[in-house]
Structure 1
Amino acid sequence: MNLLNVFEQINTVDPEFSDRISPRREAIKNLASVSKKITMAALPFFVSELFKKAYGATAPTDVNGVLNYALTLEYLEAEYYTMGVAKSGLIPSGKPLGAITTIRDHEVAHVNFLKQVLGNKAVSKPTFDFTAGGTFGNVFSNYDTFLAVAQAFEDTGVRAYKGQAGILLGNRVVLTAALQIHSVEARHASHIRQMRRARGGAAADQKPWITGANDTGIGAVVNPIYAGEDNVKQAGVDITSLSGSMGKISASAATQSFDEPLSAEAVLNIAGLFIKA
């Protein structure tokens, strides 16, 4: 992960970002140097602290900032599926290859749309490392790993759009477009989950919706993507205190019935693990 790369993207939508952390640009470079001494597992928390220093509890709140935030995620997904489809022998032919190709085309359409809307304010596409520094070293040689990472990306995307919808309330046209993309990302997430389930093995119990805080079978490495999904309270109501058709609603059903948003900081931390210089 290259912190300067992340900083440059944020500076595009907030030119005062560097000054929020330190009045000296050199301080940012020093922080990036320090980050080389931090373990991969600690990086998300390190970046999170920087965002807190820069913005308090919030990320940039302008419409262009949100759109560029979305564009970065769409760049990531479009590039991932483009590389996957192009990798000979990775994806089984027939319906699996057809499905991934269709998802690729959707993500490319999202990228092109967001770039068109942003015009010359659109951020450039980062250079991605889909192994996340070696965590997923066989991502383009093992189909099950490819699907697992795809699921992580799609679940992140759904929660990311949900988390920023409120900022777009003042712009009905942009909000409508964002919600249209959001629902497609949700369909992608569900379909990828079903594709994993069809593979059997560790993913045999995978459901098309999220249950609890990490139901992927991928391991703790994706815990940040599902943080908060085990919430059973909505608008102050404990869903497990309500009655269903067979008694009290279970915690699993409560978490499945409501999807949770992710903050911009959390999403940028997750995406940053797949961005390199």
Structure 2
Amino acid sequence: MDLQNIFTAIEKTDPEIYERLDTRRSAMKRFANVGKALAMSAVPLALGSMFKKAYGRTPADVLSVLQFALLLEHLESGFYSEAITHTSLFDAAGFAAFTTIANQEAAHVTLIAQTIQALGGTPDPAPAFTYTKNGALPTFTDLATLLTVAQAFEDTGVRAYKGQICNLQENRTVLTIALQIHSVEARHAAHIRTMRGKKGWITQAQNDFSDTDATYAGEDLTVQDGVTITGICTGITADAATEAFEEPLDAATVRTIIAPFINT
């Protein structure tokens, strides 16, 4: 294991890392001592300790976020891939939109899986999904239900990515990938909402699909960073205030939202 190359790679990703730790020379000296005292197999553990000291996170934390994102992308990719097999549901424009989104979601799955592998992990396989909730929903026989489920998945995905950004902020490469996907998911959400005749953004915590109430929980906030948004200027109503900002969702809440759509 070439520590010189490891530290060079780390510096390229985060030039300020030694401001959080120590000088480069001192850090390498400590790792050299680790190598002398322990088997080289222990060095990855020491590297993890270094990341924990510098960021409060380890490489395993980044992999955990990526596996979580992969689960969401598998959910969406599988959904759109199945949806476009039911061609009778769509007009030409709707089928074209769903096909485009299906292709983009498949690309997201590939990119995240390859990133996990590049970081030394093994991508989790896609679970078996039940988009009809085991027959409880006419997801693939009724266009209105199909679009409502699509909206719920997309809005959940956008908020889920936002909720994980802080866990990726020191890994610029992975952060860039997450933000690239996040913005496209937001465009998907807006387009699906438009297909339903809705606004392209979320108003308050409004939801017309009881199975996904948690998708919109917290979206009715009118205070941001201690500042009350309503009344700042003419026309900033509670609706306008909530439409101007989107709140993140934590991983536990997201898993609760999507759990009914996963076969266990």
Determine the C-alpha separation between the residues in 1 that align with 2:107 and 2:83: 17
- The equivalent position to 1:253 in structure 2, one of 230, 240, 256, is 240
Match of 1:11 in 2: none
Whole-angstrom distance in 2 between the partners of 1:276 and 1:239: 42
The amino acid of 1:63's aligned partner reads: V
- CA apart distance, 1:240: 1.0
Instruction: Report the residue type matching 2:163 in the other structure.
Output: G
Change (3 A) 1:274 1:171: same
Contact 1:154–1:185, Cα closer than 8 Å, also in 2: yes
Structure 1 residue corresponding to 2:203, chosen from 211, 214, 221: 211
User: How far apart are 1:272 and its partner, in Å?
Assistant: 1.2
Shift of 1:142: 0.6
Contact 2:87-2:95 at 8 Å conserved across structures: no
Instruction: Measure how far apart 1:89 and its partner are.
Output: 1.1
Cα deviation code 1:154-182 (max 9, x no counterpart): 00000000000000011001001100000
TM-score between the two structures when normalised by the length of structure 1: 0.71
Look up the SS of the partner of 1:259 in the other structure: coil
1:227 equivalent in structure 2: 217
- Residues of 1 paired with 2:159 and 2:106: CA distance? 19
Q: Distance in 1 between matches of 2:67 and 2:131?
A: 20
Cα deviation digits, residues 54-105 of structure 1 (max 9, x gap): xxxxxx980000000000000000000000001241222x111000000000
Residue of structure 2 equivalent to 1:169? 169
**Alpha-carbon deviation of 1:151?**
0.3
Asked if 1:275 corresponds to 2:251, the answer is no
Question: Does the 8 Å CA contact 1:161/1:182 hold for their aligned counterparts?
Answer: yes
Q: CA RMSD in A?
A: 1.5
Shift of 1:133: 3.9
Q: Report matched runs for 1:51-90 at 5 Å.
A: 62-90=61-89
TM-score between both structures, scaled by the size of structure 2: 0.74
- CA separation of 1:210/1:61 partners in 2, compared to 1, >3 Å: closer, same or farther? farther
Counterpart-to-counterpart distance in 1, 2:181 and 2:245: 19
**Aligned residue number for residue 202 of structure 1:** none
Quick one: structure 1 residues 261 and 61, their matched pair in 2 at CA, closer, same or farther if it must change by over 3 Å? farther
Contact residue 232 and residue 240 of structure 1 kept, 8 A: yes
Identity over the aligned pairs, expressed in percent?
Answer: 48
Aligned length: 203
Match of 2:107?
109
Query: In the alignment, residue 147 of structure 1 is paired with which amino acid?
Result: L
| Mapped contact 1:61–1:167 kept (Cα < 8 A) | no
Give the letter for the 1:217 counterpart: D
Distance 2:63 2:165 in 1: 13
The answer to whether structure 1 residue 123 and structure 2 residue 114 are counterparts is: no
Q: Which has the larger radius of gyration?
A: 2
| Residue 50 (structure 1) aligns with | none
Structure 1 range deviating more: 145-154 or 232-241: 232-241
